Amino acid sequence: MVKIENKLIIVEGLPGFGKTTAAKIIKNILDDFEIENELFLEGNLDHPADYDKVTHFNIKEYKKLLSDYPEYKSFIKKITEKINEDFFIHYHKQKSKYQDDFSDEIYEIISKNDVYELPFKKNKRLIVNNWNKFSKTASSENKVYIFECCFIQNPVTVSLIRDNKNFKETFNYITELLDVVRNLNPILFYIDQEDLDFTFKKIVNERSQEWLVSFIDYYTKQGYGLDNNLTGLKGALEVFKYRYSIENKIFKKLKMNKNIINNTGYNKKQLKKNIVEKLENNINN
């Protein structure tokens, strides 16, 4: 019988490095070995550990929300999930479910409290708590979870790119996440590229204009980019390279089962071969 002792496989790397392709390859490999698994790509609204398009209110904020918008009170209550003293609204999912009732006005009001727009300490608390909840559930399951880019990328973008926190705070955030999933014996695959300028040009040419504008704004109009007077496409590239240097430093310091997979050249067959070589060491026949 084929077994794997690792219940969590994490795939990280910068935009355009090939994370999604690598994550799908890992799933295919596990499928070939008939190992039960579930893949959660970036942006999955049903992610078991991360919050994507989810807002949070504490009890004081929630009461104020209901008081300020009495015309939406009953609807807001209907779409709210209460966990202890925290109130969550999966606003993007609920917008799709209740299209007629979910006005653009209430969507805009609620989305301002997106978990990834909250102050650093609050964001960190909510994310770590959610990972802890996931870890307890996953530990009792006979299944491997594959996560794309929510372990390093999200803490880095919030703490460093958005808020320009120091390295210690960023690294501590990630090690807290690692500590709560150590019982799952996680494996980290960091997908790498040797030529950052080429990779950056590639994503600029391949991504939509809407994505590119959002990317440039996020990288240059807040946190590290803003503090260093970086602007436009050239400024975004500088932040891109800075993020790469930080993630490499994080990777080297993390004490866990970890692998760097070179994806320079974007050769899918070679990428699969490199992943298989690393992954087979953890699979027992």
pLDDT along the chain (285 residues), means of 10: 89 97 97 96 96 97 96 95 96 92 91 97 97 97 96 97 97 98 98 97 95 96 98 98 98 98 96 94 80
Please report the pLDDT score of residue 285 as a whole number: 62
Interval 256-285: pLDDT, tens: 999 999 999 999 999 999 999 999 888 876
Q: What percent of the chain has pLDDT over 90?
A: 93
* Among the listed residues 102, 134, 129, 106, the one whose alpha carbon sits nearest the alpha carbon of residue 118: 129
Residues contacting 114, CB < 8 A, separation 6+: 53, 54, 55, 91
Domain ranges of the chain: 7-49+119-284, 55-113
Q: Please state, in angstroms and rounded to a whole number, the distance separating the CA atoms of residues 169 and 22.
A: 29
Q: Please state, in angstroms and rounded to a whole number, the distance separating the CA atoms of residues 221 and 234.
A: 13
Q: Are 237 and 198 in contact (CB under 8 A)?
A: no
Q: Please state, in angstroms and rounded to a whole number, the distance separating the CA atoms of residues 38 and 46.
A: 12
Q: Please state, in angstroms and rounded to a whole number, the distance separating the CA atoms of residues 43 and 98.
A: 20
Fold of 7-49+119-284: Rossmann fold (3.40.50)
Position 182: which residue type?
Answer: R
Interval 95-144: pLDDT, tens: 999 988 898 999 999 999 999 999 999 999 999 999 999 999 999 999 99
Helix axes 120-138, 167-181, angle to 10 degrees: 20
Q: Are 80 and 89 in contact (CB under 8 A)?
A: yes
Q: Are 146 and 6 in contact (CB under 8 A)?
A: no
Secondary structure of residue 75 in the 3-state scheme: helix
What is this structure's pTM? 0.95
Beta bridge partners of 259: 189
Count of C-beta atoms within a 10 Å radius of residue 46: 8
Estimate to the nearest angstrom the gap between the alpha carbon of 179 and the chain centroid.
17
Please report the pLDDT score of residue 280 as a whole number: 87
Please report the pLDDT score of residue 281 as a whole number: 85
Q: Where are the alpha helices (DSSP H) in the chain?
A: 19-32, 59-68, 73-78, 91-97, 104-111, 120-138, 153-156, 167-181, 196-206, 209-220, 223-227, 232-253, 268-279
Token readout for 18 is 């090939």
Q: Are 63 and 54 in contact (CB under 8 A)?
A: no
